């Protein structure tokens, strides 16, 4: 069965510095992977998705993620953090057998002025 | 388009009371889902539906019931509320094509915060 681990519960960066949110997965097959973002008191929004096309995936708001099969990782990055990026980020893997989504526990991104 | 609409946004229940969380989508999506989100945890799937008249259990179905009489509506019912059901509940939908192709892009409602005292 698939699983997903977000390695940091909280990440704090200064505005204008790079962001790295780490995600590792386990999967028996070629997985589909996603990053969702949840701003305070809002619903969840898809940031980007990987579905066996290009390994470097670009998403909204300047975020991107790289699928590394050898490391079973799908880390989310952004070159320069903005105050509006403060939110909780979820890494998600799609289970092949029944198409259900397996969610990571989330990483809260804090942006310091 | 409204997307996915959930009501109510907030509710406080007493132990043993019952209530229904409403969810409506106007995108003609076949798949609909109910998740709960507890602090420090990822989302857990409660129930899902692949179309009108068809529902199935997810990861944490105990204490809940659902129905899907129309494509648009997917209400979640709590029959005997317990403190363990204090959580934020999210309804979501996706098109069937997206699931089979692996895109599986969900559209979420804004959430319903439920407290059971």
pLDDT tens for each residue of A72-94: 999 999 999 999 999 999 999 88
d(CA A76, CA A90): 10
d(CA B76, CA A53): 36
| Look-up of token digits 């899907």 | B68
Lowest mean pLDDT among A20-29, A49-58, B60-69, B94-103: B94-103
B95 touches chain A (CB under 8 A): no
Over the stretch A6-64, which tens digit does the pLDDT of each residue have? Answer: 999 999 999 999 999 999 998 767 788 999 999 887 778 889 988 777 889 999 999 99
d(CA B60, CA B48): 11
d(CA B89, CA B45): 10
> Mutate which of B34, B51, B106 to disrupt the A interface (most A C-beta within 10 Å)?
B106
Over the stretch A89-110, which tens digit does the pLDDT of each residue have? Answer: 999 988 766 667 889 999 999 9
Chain B residues touching residue A94 (CB < 8 angstroms): 102, 104
d(CA A103, CA A93): 7
């Amino acid at each position: 069965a698939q699983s997903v681990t977000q390695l940091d519960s909280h990440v704090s960066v200064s505005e204008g510095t790079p962001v790295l949110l780490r995600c590792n997965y386990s999967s028996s097959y070629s997985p589909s992977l996603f990053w969702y973002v949840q701003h305070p008191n809002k619903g969840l929004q898809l940031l980007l998705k990987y579905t066996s096309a290009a390994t470097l995936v670009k998403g909204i708001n300047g975020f991107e993620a790289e699928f590394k099969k050898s490391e079973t990782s799908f880390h989310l990055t952004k070159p320069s953090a903005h105050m509006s990026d403060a939110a909780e980020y979820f890494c998600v893997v799609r289970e092949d057998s029944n198409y259900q989504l397996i969610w990571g526990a989330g990483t809260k991104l804090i942006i310091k002025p | 388009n409204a997307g996915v609409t959930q009501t109510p946004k907030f509710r406080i229940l007493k132990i043993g009371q019952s209530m229904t969380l409403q969810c409506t989508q106007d995108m003609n999506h076949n798949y609909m889902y109910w998740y709960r989100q507890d602090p420090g945890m990822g989302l857990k799937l409660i129930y899902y539906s692949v179309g009108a008249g068809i529902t199935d259990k997810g990861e944490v179905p105990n204490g809940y019931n659902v129905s899907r009489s129309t494509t648009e509506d997917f209400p979640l019912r709590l029959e005997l509320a317990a403190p363990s059901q204090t959580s934020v509940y999210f309804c979501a939908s996706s098109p069937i094509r997206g699931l089979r192709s692996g895109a599986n892009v969900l559209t979420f409602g804004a959430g319903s915060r439920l407290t059971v005292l």
